[in-house]
Amino acid sequence: MKANLNLGKYYGTEVQIHWTFFLLIAWIVFSEILSGSSTDRILFNLQFILAVMICVLLHELGHLLAAKRFGVKTKKMVLLPIGGISTVDNTTESPKVEFLITLAGPLVNIIIAIVLFFVIPVRDYISFNLGEYFTALNDFSVRTFLFFLFIVNVALAVFNMIPAFPLDGGRILRALLDVKFTRVKATFLATRISNVIAIVLLLIGLLFNPILVFLSLFLLIGSFSENRIVHQMGLLKGHQVREAMLKNITVFDPEDTMEAIVKVILTGSETNFVVVSDKKIVGLLYHKDIIQNSHKRTLLVRDFMTVDFKTIKAREGLSVAYRLLQDEPHPFLPVTENDELVGAINFANLHEFLLMEDKLKH
């Protein structure tokens, strides 16, 4: 999303701050101004949000470094107020590796909390009576700041260990179940437990706290998404691209005109095309570009085709095609064998393959 703030690349991973962090900052400032808070209090809260952001970043870097240690490549990492979302290039199906990578994040927060426990007199805060506690909370000192940070890191570790997707606890639960069951079955069981937790939070939220309602929806969506992806990857396992690719595709020459393309689109069902010259793939024609230029009937293919594109081999795994298509702005890939075009694959026919495989398995 363009509203996210890009922090650059770390260990080959693009790191972004999600826009909800800035929404949180705006909400805190607005609330404090409405309540007539002092400038010191507002600055204290802003600095604290920045510190929380750093703790979340360190949590995700824990995952990132552990993943790098086990050869799992992380493409992108987006930081949210309650954690982060990572996009990986190659996932792992090893329960042990998933367990260790997932545990690394909360472990960072636990280490930070332990350090802060010995740096500040946490016991003093815990032993306070109610009056002393509120007095301490209104003291904008470094000690109070660090105590709040201690609480946040404990909360981040505990919250992320809840056994529900997409939290770390859900993945840890799946890794433990994966020792006994297949990955698909382990994910199914873990998401069912996740859904129960989400529904309980939803009911509590409806009675007491609206924030829990949003949290439960976040867990339900994350659980559904994880189960669907793993189920689909399980169906694709062991299958090659050539089993699902489109074989009878229309190809164009760089010297063909828009007139010829429009005729093919209006009389058929194809929307994206491969451009071939001397038996070599030289470009792709995407539906969006064709529509934008469709009024220029004499325009040559070579003048608007896309020359920066990816291809996939016919004997490559369908799971690889699935991940590539997810990353492409236009989910359409030419399929090659011995460096020659033999077909194409897109999400539509991959989805058809998944539907048929699902019926076969049931």
Residue list, annotated binding site for Zn(2+): 59, 63, 168
C-alpha–C-alpha distance, residues 19 and 84, integer Å:
12
C-alpha–C-alpha distance, residues 341 and 252, integer Å:
12
Query: Is 60 among the catalytic positions?
Result: yes
C-alpha–C-alpha distance, residues 231 and 355, integer Å:
11
Q: Look-up: residue for tokens 């590539």?
A: 324
Beta 312-313 vs 332-337: how paired, if at all? parallel
C-alpha–C-alpha distance, residues 299 and 303, integer Å:
7
Annotated binding-site ranges: 59, 63, 168
Distances (CA, A) of 310 to 262, 301, 335: 24, 18, 9
**Of 14, 32, 60, 328, catalytic:** 60
| Contact call for residues 109 and 59 (beta carbons, < 8 A) | yes
C-alpha–C-alpha distance, residues 275 and 271, integer Å:
13
Sign, Cα dihedral of 64, 66, 71, 72: negative
Continuous H helices in the chain: 19-34, 39-69, 95-119, 122-127, 130-137, 142-160, 168-178, 183-207, 210-236, 258-267, 287-293, 318-327, 347-361
| Contact call for residues 62 and 10 (beta carbons, < 8 A) | no
In the chain, the N- to C-terminal Cα span, in Å, equals: 37
E strand or H helix at 88: strand 83-88
**Structure tokens given for 232:** 């689909």
C-alpha–C-alpha distance, residues 25 and 8, integer Å:
21
Strand partners, 347: none
Continuous H helices in 241-346: 258-267, 287-293, 318-327
Which residues does the annotation mark as catalytic?
A: 60
